Amino acid sequence: MQIGIIGLPNVGKSTLFNALTNAHAAVADYPFTTIEPNIGIVSVPDTRLKKLGEIYKPEKLTPTTIRFVDIAGLVKGASKGEGLGNKFLSHIREMDTLVQIVSCFRDNCNPSDEIEVIKTELFLADLEVVVRKISSVSPRAKCGIKEAKEELEILYQIKDSIEKGDASNSQLSPELQLLTSIPVFYLVNVKDINSKIPESKYELVPINAKLESEILELSDAEKKELEVKSDLDKLILAGYKILDLITFYTTVGTEIRAWNIKRGTSAQKAAGKIHSDFEKNFIRAEVFNFSELEKYGSEKALRENGLIRVEGKEYIVKDSDVMNIKI
Ligand SMILES: Nc1nc2c(ncn2[C@@H]2O[C@H](COP(=O)(O)OP(=O)(O)OP(=O)(O)O)[C@@H](O)[C@H]2O)c(=O)[nH]1
Ligand SMILES: [Mg+2]
């Protein structure tokens, strides 16, 4: 899972990135401090994995991870090459998800406006991609080539839906890699986590990036003394929820490992997260849920009570399932 951190210049993207990843990316009070993207990997906080560790006592306990990419600031006109322009947009194209940071730690703050500026740039960049593609396909369609005519029809449908601000049709042609088809969630970088955020039609999660980056440097004792606690775990979990991700676990050999997938994924597709061979050669999976394990205390007890199910390819994996995949 790759999450890109985007937003206008100077809104605290690198500050948040540092807090999330414990990295030391450059932070400064002027725009375009970040040019090349900063990349960092973060473990997803997971109390169930901890409990699985207590029950199984494996040699290795591996959480799922998220890759965060701190991207250069975007300005109005980026789709036409303003600021760092198209280079920035090409970095966004590779992301599974985007987090936009809106700045509310300075005097004026207008989340909706900041969000619209970025949305418009992504939209214009997409429109350009589709229009370019339409011009390249049109001559062949005019010659009466069937495939080209069909492709053109799809392209017009996509163009139409982009113009309506709806990215759902972009799935018709994934190779276009449209920016507006990437899910976005919004964080507001605030002075104080309790401060009031202006009304907005977007769902906004507050965060104090600077405080978070400072908390990171403190020991547990210092945190207690200063009565500060980090909200980053909450933020990662909020992202998980917004993206509708769930976690499943595998207990293979001496390792217990957590994996994330989209809710609604089949057992066979989930197996592909582990290895493409697991997806290709999937036969069945032995499955139980973590909640049952917690109740019965051990896998042995589950087995004795007939609570370990055998599921096929089409089984839809549930949050906190523990799966033993047979290939
Ligand atoms: N008071 C306060 N200042 C912040 C906060 N977050 C960031 N800043 C300051 O805002 C300035 C910009 O922060 P950066 O993290 O470099 O911002 P950026 O979005 O990465 O900027 P570019 O890479 O230039 O686009 C720095 O001086 C930070 O110290 C915050 O939560 N509170
Ligand atoms: Mg930066």
Ligand 1 contact, 33 CB (< 6 A): yes
Please state whether beta strands 60-62 and 2-6 pair in parallel, antiparallel, or not at all (unpaired): unpaired
**Ligand with minimal distance to 13 CA:** 1
Q: Which one-letter amino acid corresponds to residue 305?
A: N
Number of other residues whose CB lies within 10 A of the CB of residue 218: 14
**Ligand with minimal distance to 19 CA:** 1
DSSP one-letter string for 174-216? GGG--GGGS-EEEEEEESSTTSPPPP-SS-EEEE-HHHHHHHT
Question: Of 63, 34, 66, 27, which Cα lies nearest the Cα of 212?
Answer: 27
> Residue whose CA is closest, atom 11 of ligand 1?
29
Which of 5, 6, 10, when mutated, tests ligand 1's pocket best, judged by the most ligand atoms within 8 Å of its CB? 10
Per-residue pLDDT of the chain (327 residues; tens, 9 = 90+): 889 999 999 999 999 999 988 878 888 888 878 888 899 998 888 999 999 999 999 999 999 988 899 998 888 877 676 666 667 788 898 898 899 999 999 988 999 999 999 998 888 888 888 999 999 999 999 998 999 999 999 999 989 888 887 777 777 777 888 898 888 989 999 998 888 889 889 989 899 999 999 988 888 888 888 888 888 887 787 778 877 899 999 987 789 999 999 999 999 999 999 899 999 999 999 999 999 999 999 999 999 999 999 999 999 999 999 999 999
**According to the model, what pLDDT value does residue 295 have?**
95
Which of 11, 13, 14, 15, when mutated, tests ligand 1's pocket best, judged by the most ligand atoms within 8 Å of its CB? 15
Torsion 300-304-305-311 (CA) sign: positive
Cβ(308)–Cβ(302) below 8 Å? yes
Ligand 2 centre and the CA of 38: distance in Å? 9
Question: Of 117, 100, 122, which Cα lies nearest the Cα of 4?
Answer: 100
Ligand 1 contact, 11 CB (< 6 A): yes
| Domains defined along the chain, listed by start | 245-326 (3.10.20.30)
